[in-house]
Each structure stands twice: as structure tokens, then as C-alpha cells.
Structure 1
Amino acid sequence: MTTKSPLPKRGIIITFTILITGIAVSLWIQHMSKRAAVSPTLAFIEHNMTNPNGTLATYLKEAPSANPDYVAGHEALSESLGVWMQIALLNRDEQRFQQSYDLLRERYLSPQNYIKWKLQPDGTSEVNTNALGDDLRIVRALLEGYDLWQQTAYLAAAEAITARLQQSSMLEGYFVDYHDFLHQQSADVLSLVYVDTLALQAMERHGLIDRSVLDRHLELLQQLPAASQKIFYPQKYEVGVSKYTSDDKVNLIDQLIVAIHVAELGQSPQELIHFLKQELKNRGKLFGQYDRSSRQPAVDYESPSVYGLAILLALETRDQAWAEELYPLMLAMRDHNPRYKGGYVFDGDTHLFDNLFPLLAEVSLKGH
């Protein structure tokens, strides 16, 4: 009877070395694949539009702020932080999400637990107001982050921000656009673009608001009056007089965001979608603003954000073909200068939203 000799010591070492090398190569390939998958637009934002303190600059070019009510240069917005957090969630990027959460706690969140809507480039703030739409976007991201990674700090922050909103930024049971914490004054209107369907549903699901608060806001979208041409949505709801109001000119970015929230409720905004598809068919492009009554373009420019949001609306209504039709129109607006690779830069400058919303659309489209 013969028996096999045990593997020589040298053979064990060689086998072990091959195994470790194989694992290392595999991990390296995975790492390089992840790096290769990073969107050039995301890389552009991180390399060109991130302040030294980690906040996201609103414009590529530096410029002083002449009015505290308007954003300029490298000032940072809470809205940008919320969209950045959404992108991190879609990418399952816990590191970037945690970095955003740290910025929220260290820079944006006041001792009274309201979110300052704007920061100076150095991370300090000269404003004393919040912006409801930004707040709800961030709260939604925090709750989704908690659901995904079970970090209780995210839930606690969402609870604190929501509690402050209910204490200071509500009128007759409705959230309103902002509260001035210096003068203790609140807006008396609710911009419909701020009625974030998924945020409010997540807040109710986690016990942060009552069901009656959720229903009251969702009804605003479910009962939207049709415009005369049944295309464009009104802009605001005047809480004190229970009335929808509209401007003569409509911003297509706002219209698309409202349409996305309506679609999230299961109601397809067919009139607006039909109009947009006809515009693409007849003009080959979508413009940034339109006249409400004539339905003619009110400006001569296109916007990457418009195409990005239109893609998100197409995905929400499960119109994959339309999303894929819009995608190359959006990408065509990228700058061809190697210095700004992946960025939507025009005449040497860009607004951060014209990069964030296209990036959000790009990541969402690739996930479908």
C-alpha cells in the first residue's frame, strides 16, 4: 500500500503565494473597475467645484456676493448638499455620504437645528433662514441613508431637522418656503416644487410627521388645477387664502421637478410630457423658460439641468426610450476643453446645478 507524501514545505509556500497574489489581483481589478466607473462629471465636480473645506461651490468662477439673498461665486448651497447626498445613495457610496453628513453637522446645521440655506466659501454663514425644498431633500437622504446603512445618527439628524421645521415653518398645517430665525418671520406660501413626495412619505413612515400632514401636502399635488392649455403647473400655493398662483413665465426646471413629484404619486403628467416631446420633434431642443399662455420659448438658451430632469421624469414614468433619446442631448452640452472634462461649462463658467442634475440623471439611467 502506498501513501502520498505530504506537500513539500516549498510547495505550500508557492501555493499560498499564488493564492494571495490572486486575491490581490482580484481586489486590484475591482478597485480599478470602480475607479473607471466614476462619472467624468462627478470627477469634474470634485476637482473643480469643491472648496478647500469640502463644500460645493455654486459657480466655477470666483465672485463676491453683492446681496446676501443671492448666491455668487464659490458660495455653497444646502440644495447642492442634498443632491450630492442623493447621488451618493444611488452609487451606494457610504464614504461620500458620510462626508456630506459631516458637512451638514459641522457647517450647515445651526444650533437651533435649522439648515442654513447658504454658506460663504470659507464655510461660515451670514444667513438666518432655511429653504424648505433643500431641507426636505436632505431629510429624505438622511432617512434613506439610515435605511441603507443603519447609522442611527442619520435618523437622529432627520428627526431634529423635522422637529424644527414643524415648530417654525408651518402655517395652517402646511410647511412654508422659509422661516427667518433672526426676525422670527415665515413665508405665507408653499412653492409646489418643494412638495417632495418621497421625502414626506419617508418622514411619515419613520414617524417624524403625522399621516394628516402627509395627506394634506399630497393632496396639493393630486388636486393641481390644470392651466388653460393643461400643460404647465402653477408655481405656488398661498396658504392663507387656499389658492394656487401662477406666473406668466414658467421655469422648465421647476415644472419638471413638480411633474416628477406628481409621477411619484402614480399620476402620469401626460400633458407636460406630450408638450416636451413635441418641442423636441419640432425644434430639436428644450428651452429653459416658456411663456405660459403662448407656450413659446421665453429664452433662447438650453439647460443641462432641463435635460437631466427630463430624463428623471422619463425614468419615473417608465419611458426608457424617451430617457435614452434625451441622454445624448444632455451629454452634447458638456464642454470639450480637456481642463473641464465631464463638466457642463459655458464661456469658462458653470452653475453647479447644471452638473449635479445631469449627474443625478446619468447615475439613475445607468441603474435602470
Structure 2
Amino acid sequence: MYTRIHRMAIVLLIVILLGGCTWKQQKESSDPASPQPVLPGEYFMTHHLMTDQGLIRTSFAEQHIYLSESLGLWMDYLVRKKDPNSFEKQFHVLQDQFLLDHHLLSWQIESDQKSQVNALVDDLRVIAALQKADHLWQKPAYQKTAKDIAQSLKDKNMYKGILSDYYDAAANRTSHTITLSYIDPAAIKELVSLHIFTKQMASHQLAILKHAPRQKGFFPKSYDIKKKAYSFDQEINMIDQLYTAFHADLANVHTSAIMKWLKTTFKEEGKLYGRYKLGTLKPSVTYESPSVYALVILYALKQNESEFAKDVYERMKELQIKDPLKPYYGGYMNEKDTHSFDNLLPLIAERELLNESVIQ
């Protein structure tokens, strides 16, 4: 009896504390009429992966590594949540920690050392988040920073008129390959709205997606700009394929074969794996990935497949620690470790499901 009462008291205390966190963020919100509660995944991020300086650790490893990927995904989430105060803090993290002298982002900070290489996909994601934030809260500094990054992408990160994977400032070298999943039409559209790209320049980027060949409905991994050649991997990396399919859909490229395969496979297996063999479409790994499920959810919502998105969400949530008494409540753990990517993407997907009223 004592143990049961004691356990209930602890659960009640955690609920009260979470409610306090929620109340505080609601109070600070610029839109008090529609307060946004703190999700379990957000609680995990801020209590276990975020430092006092606002940097997001990639994992629990003793040697802390911070990625521009994590920064961009977190900024994306905060815009979707409409959380101006937290976004402003991340804006300062962007300016103080990640921006290099030439206005591109360091893709990785390790041992307080910034890499002199950027990652196109992360820079584009940050530009899009800054533009959305400026639209929401009318802060000119957001658009100015977005424009500085965009200008540097145009100046440093293009090969023969096409955005490429990275620019290495130390070697003054630009990649001549573009990973197809990096081509984000929504972010490229922002380059046009910032008057950095013309519509014709934007069209040249999207043409890589539109002209891509398929194998069993799936996209190539990359395009060699120098050789004008696409390249397929023998394994389907679901993260790459889902990002590419989502972006292709935004560019009005037909992707129904992928959606059909996802729905059929999930219905038959009750799950999706992280990688599949391209030749047989059989799993090549035994693990499930919360980030894969998150991207399926976002892609399904874009395709107006809300019931499928909800089904996948329920499977994704089975991988999350939902017991408030567990040390890593709200996290997606891999035994004793985790990865920021596998927590941030599910958080974005869950927030989008709430925004679309697919879940309550």
C-alpha cells in the first residue's frame, strides 16, 4: 500500500512540475489565446540534451558534439510551436556559435572547435526557419541573417550554377555533388523571396529532382554536377528517401509509388525498418528508427494521408519512454544512449500532427 501511494505521489509531483513548465511557457508566449503545452519530447530535449548555453548535444557521449543539423531542427520546431522567446535564444546560439566569418554555418562544433565546412541542408533549414520567424514576429534581424546566409550559399556553395553539398573554407573548395534529399523547394523558394536567386536559378535546382530516374519508384542518392550523372545506393536509406520524396512532392513530382509501398509494407509488417535492399525491397537491418517514422508522418500529412500518419505516430510513440518515473522520460533511447536527430524529428512530427488537429 505504501509503495503504491508513494508511486502515485511521485507521478502527481512530476505532472505538477510539467504543468509548471507549461504555464511558464504559456505566460511568455506572444499568443496567450492559444498556449502550446510542453510535449514529453521537448521536456527530454531541454533537460537532457541542451546545455545551459542553449547548445544541443548530439548524444550522451563524454565528448560533446554540437551539430548545425540539431540547431536547424530545433529552430524549425520552435517556429511550428510559435515560441518566440525560445527561438530568440536559438538565434543567439546561431550567431554566437555556428556562423562562420563568411556567413555559412559550421556543420559541427567539437571540443569548442568549429569545423570550417558547412552542410547545405542545414543552412537551408535555418534560412527557412528564420524567414518563418520573421513573418511571425517581425524581427528584421532574422531576415537579415537569412539573407546573409543565402548570399554566402550563392557565392560559395554552388558548382556550375547548382547548389552542392558543402563548401570547405579551409581548402576553399566546393563540392561538385548534390545529395537529392538536400534539395528543399520550400527553402529554395525563400532564396527567391530574399532576392538572392532568380526564379530561373531556383528552377535549375529543382530540375535535378524533376529529372531524376527511378528504380522501383525510389530516387537516386545523389547527382554529380560535374559528370551530370545520378547515383543509386544498393541500400535504400529511408531517411534520405523520405526527405527526397517529401521535397519532390513539394516540387510537384509524382511520388505515389513510394507512398503506396510505405502503406503496404507498414500494413503487412506493422513496422518500418531503417534500411532496405534496393534489389529485393527486403529489410537490410533489424532496427526501427523514430526519425524514419517522423518523416513518414510528415510525408503522409503532405499527401493528405492523415489516418496513415496517425497509425505511424502510434507506432513511433511505442519507441518513446512514456513513464514519467523513468530517468529519460520523453526520450527515444537506443539502450543507454540517444541521438538528437532521433528526438528532434519525432518532436516536429508530433507538433505538426497537433497543428493539423490529427491528434489532440
TM-score range, shorter chain: 0.7 to 0.9
Partner in structure 1 of residue 240 of structure 2: 254
SS of alignment partner, residue 318 of structure 1: coil
Any residues of structure 2 matched to 1:352-367 within 5 Å, and which? 352-367=340-355
- Alpha-carbon deviation of 1:268? 4.4
Identify if the C-alpha distance between structure 1 residues 28 and 348 changes in structure 2 by more than 3 Å, giving closer, same or farther.
closer
Give CA-to-partner distance per residue, 1:191-233, whole Å, 9 cap, x none: 0111011000122123121112100011122222121x22x21
Q: What CA distance in whole angstroms lies between the structure 2 residues aligned with 1:303 and 1:354?
A: 7
Give CA-to-partner distance per residue, 1:271-310, whole Å, 9 cap, x none: 1111111211221110000111111111000000010110
Partner in structure 1 of residue 301 of structure 2: 315
Any residues of structure 2 matched to 1:292-307 within 5 Å, and which? 292-307=278-293
Does the 8 Å contact 1:44/1:342 carry over to 2?
yes
Q: What CA distance in whole angstroms lies between the structure 2 residues aligned with 1:30 and 1:135?
A: 30
Q: What CA distance in whole angstroms lies between the structure 2 residues aligned with 1:160 and 1:364?
A: 29
Partner in structure 1 of residue 61 of structure 2: 62
Any residues of structure 2 matched to 1:8-157 within 5 Å, and which? 31=27, 37-59=37-59, 61-64=60-63, 74-120=64-110, 124-157=112-145
Which amino acid in the other structure matches residue 298 of structure 1? S
Any residues of structure 2 matched to 1:277-356 within 5 Å, and which? 277-336=263-322, 338-356=326-344
* Range with greater deviation from structure 2 (204-213 or 84-93): 204-213
- Alpha-carbon deviation of 1:346? 2.2
**Aligned partner (choices 175, 178, 185) of residue 166 of structure 2:** 178
**Aligned partner (choices 181, 186, 190) of residue 193 of structure 1:** 181
Does the 8 Å contact 2:36/2:81 carry over to 1?
no
Identify if the C-alpha distance between structure 1 residues 36 and 79 changes in structure 2 by more than 3 Å, giving closer, same or farther.
closer
Partner in structure 2 of residue 206 of structure 1: 194
Identify if the C-alpha distance between structure 1 residues 44 and 265 changes in structure 2 by more than 3 Å, giving closer, same or farther.
same
SS of alignment partner, residue 326 of structure 1: helix
Partner in structure 2 of residue 236 of structure 1: 222
User: What's the Cα RMSD here?
Assistant: 1.9
Does the 8 Å contact 1:114/1:165 carry over to 2?
yes
Does the 8 Å contact 2:26/2:36 carry over to 1?
no
Q: What CA distance in whole angstroms lies between the structure 1 residues aligned with 2:246 and 2:106?
A: 26
Which amino acid in the other structure matches residue 237 of structure 1? Y
Which amino acid in the other structure matches residue 153 of structure 1? A
Does the 8 Å contact 2:296/2:312 carry over to 1?
yes
- Alpha-carbon deviation of 1:353? 0.7
Does the 8 Å contact 1:50/1:56 carry over to 2?
yes
- Alpha-carbon deviation of 1:31? 4.4
Q: What CA distance in whole angstroms lies between the structure 2 residues aligned with 1:196 and 1:318?
A: 20
SS of alignment partner, residue 333 of structure 2: coil
**Runs of 4+ residues deviating >2 angstroms:** 27-36, 265-268
Q: What CA distance in whole angstroms lies between the structure 2 residues aligned with 1:235 and 1:63?
A: 33
Q: What CA distance in whole angstroms lies between the structure 2 residues aligned with 1:223 and 1:49?
A: 40
Q: What CA distance in whole angstroms lies between the structure 2 residues aligned with 1:156 and 1:106?
A: 15
Give CA-to-partner distance per residue, 1:342-362, whole Å, 9 cap, x none: 110121111111100000000
Structure whose alpha-carbon radius of gyration is higher: 1
Does the 8 Å contact 1:289/1:297 carry over to 2?
yes
Identify if the C-alpha distance between structure 1 residues 129 and 367 changes in structure 2 by more than 3 Å, giving closer, same or farther.
same
Unaligned runs of 5+ in 1: 1-26, 65-73
* Range with greater deviation from structure 2 (213-222 or 77-86): 213-222
Q: What CA distance in whole angstroms lies between the structure 2 residues aligned with 1:175 and 1:28?
A: 42
Give CA-to-partner distance per residue, 1:241-294, whole Å, 9 cap, x none: 211111111210111011111111234411111111121122111000011111
Q: What CA distance in whole angstroms lies between the structure 2 residues aligned with 1:302 and 1:154?
A: 37
- Alpha-carbon deviation of 1:336? 4.8
Q: How many residues align?
A: 328
